[in-house]
A = this chain, B = another copy of it.
């Protein structure tokens, strides 16, 4: 099965969208908790700039990550799985071939 040239049914696109939504919420919630926790223990200027660096890096990553184009979808879902932002169970309903491909890509 080609990865970038895959077609996605309406049902599959909805499953992917819901997975995106869940992953995004979890990622943002984790980042909020991390920033709250690190901010609460700021002692010196370096602690402040480290929070800034963290936010710069994560904002850039997050901005680029959730690419919902059909050609990107399989890679993005694999990445979300790799980062444990979604579980394979949440992709139930996708074609078995797609699921296997996503699971394989997530281990790379």
Residues on A facing B (Cβ under 8 Å)? 28, 31-32, 35-36, 39-40, 42, 45, 47-49, 51-52, 55-56, 59
Contact = CB atoms under 8 A, between A and B. Distances in A.
Contacts of A59: 49, 52
Identical subunits present = 2
Contacts of A45: 28, 32
A71 to B, nearest CB: 26
Given A35-B51, A48-B55, 12 more contacts: A28-B48, A32-B45, A32-B47, A32-B48, A35-B39, A36-B39, A40-B40, A49-B55, A51-B51, A52-B52, A52-B56, A52-B59
A52 B31 CA distance: 12
